[in-house]
Structure 1
């Protein structure tokens, strides 16, 4: 079985670009990690993760030795990547280098992929609730502008699959971290102590506020929590689960 992944339609006009979000099947992992687990920080056998990464790279057409990744700490630090490697402490990457492939790992949090076709620059952000509340997407778009001269009006963006609003119940301490214009919050329990948080909408609004046109933004319709046959979900599986990868990079040759 081949590794399964989604290729965002918003990037179809750019043959030089590789962009994808994996699904959970097409690898060698077993148990709660079945089968295309790509998360190094899981309890899966590291050999399985290496094999899964190799299989994905062969199928999608990129060099796994040229990946840029992080342990991801639910912050807003952004790395300007010029060399491949695993860099601790970052939750977003930007690059203007061909042949580098930015990688975000998720299992309910949202991956956001960005491309500036004019300046040939790419970005990737890991947007959980903390990163989203901290404006990680806004900061990533701004960083691309500062480094590469990116104009948001010329950017294209993909918000990948994550946990949908209906499945993401949070307490007031999380809800209060979001300004009212950032995300729609709905009371879902007695006494107003629980809320539903829509991270896809929050990040969409951040992209719009950054200046990216709505027509240039694609949002995945899938929910990682509900689509158990397609995605890993940290919340659904009580933390014992695998990770999807979302990858973006500009090929050396197009």
Structure 2
């Protein structure tokens, strides 16, 4: 993963594609005061709207993106997927897909897992929001299938990034949640009588099950909890915190870097 300024980090799995824009925002470089310090880009937070607007402007500007070309959705921890033909704000979708150049897809996170997909063959992209419910619903696999149906995507041509989220050692759950995960993605701590879930391995496994080669899957080395100085964590900050954006899109030939 490489870093540009302090506003965002870019996944190295995509670094050989100059026309592709992919990034995760951090919590640095914004104007929001505590407890949203400082680059809170979450629209549905208790931060002042003018702070969020300025933070989003800074983030998009740092990537040389026109905010009018951005698509987002109010996420509901489900498995609905929207094929984006025009940018804008939508409601009720946890995955966005498009094959339109200069349309940039975003998901909002603060512990849940963002997954970014790039189909290098058909020039299509996806941005996925996968909390534990979306992971259990196998939204990642469903998104790959949706791209196959919509764009003719071949999984072998895809590159994917499992983004920064809550880490396994911090994601403590009860048996009612743990029972919905396979043994490979959960651990029982006998001392604490609690289960711990690994959302990164669970979603990476879904990417592999969908047919994406393992060497084309990148996983963030960062944690919203262990690296809370750089990322927002809803859980560790007791719900009073900001949000990050994960973004992906393809620049048209005239605007490629």
- Number of the residue aligned with 1:79: 82
Which residue of the other structure, out of 104, 107, 125, is the alignment partner of 1:122? 125
CA drift of 1:48 comes to 0.6
- Number of the residue aligned with 2:186: 185
Are 1:174 and 2:177 matched, yes or no? yes
- Number of the residue aligned with 2:160: 157
- Number of the residue aligned with 1:245: 245
Q: Residues 188-199 of structure 1 correspond to what in structure 2 (within 5 A)? A: 188-190=189-191, 192=193, 194-199=194-199
Q: TM (normalized to structure 1)?
A: 0.96
Are 1:90 and 2:107 matched, yes or no? no
Query: What per-residue deviation string (whole Å, max 9, x for no partner) do you get for residues 159-188 of structure 1?
Result: 1110000011000111112244xx421111
Structure 2 unaligned regions, length at least 5: none
Paired residue secondary structure (1:205): helix
Instruction: Give the whole-Å Cα distance in 2 for the aligned partners of 1:220 and 1:211.
Output: 20
Paired residue secondary structure (1:238): coil
Instruction: Give the whole-Å Cα distance in 1 for the aligned partners of 2:181 and 2:187.
Output: 13
Query: What per-residue deviation string (whole Å, max 9, x for no partner) do you get for residues 99-132 of structure 1?
Result: 1110011000010000001110000100100000
Paired residue secondary structure (1:144): helix
Instruction: Give the whole-Å Cα distance in 2 for the aligned partners of 1:80 and 1:189.
Output: 44
Matched residues, number: 250
Paired residue secondary structure (2:115): strand
Paired residue secondary structure (1:34): coil
- Number of the residue aligned with 1:138: 141
Superposition RMSD in Å: 1.2
Paired residue secondary structure (1:58): helix
Structure 1 unaligned regions, length at least 5: none
Q: Residues 104-123 of structure 1 correspond to what in structure 2 (within 5 A)? A: 104-123=107-126
Structure 1 ranges of 4+ moved more than 3 A: 189-192
Instruction: Give the whole-Å Cα distance in 1 for the aligned partners of 2:192 and 2:237.
Output: 28
CA drift of 1:190 comes to 4.9
- Number of the residue aligned with 1:23: 26
Paired residue secondary structure (1:87): strand
Instruction: Give the whole-Å Cα distance in 2 for the aligned partners of 1:12 and 1:24.
Output: 23
Distance 1:132 1:241, change over 3 A: same
Which residue of the other structure, out of 42, 45, 49, is the alignment partner of 1:42? 45
Instruction: Give the whole-Å Cα distance in 2 for the aligned partners of 1:93 and 1:140.
Output: 8
Query: What per-residue deviation string (whole Å, max 9, x for no partner) do you get for residues 26-72 of structure 1?
Result: 01111110110000011001111110111111111111111111110
- Number of the residue aligned with 2:232: 232
Instruction: Give the whole-Å Cα distance in 2 for the aligned partners of 1:80 and 1:179.
Output: 30
Instruction: Give the whole-Å Cα distance in 2 for the aligned partners of 1:186 and 1:57.
Output: 39
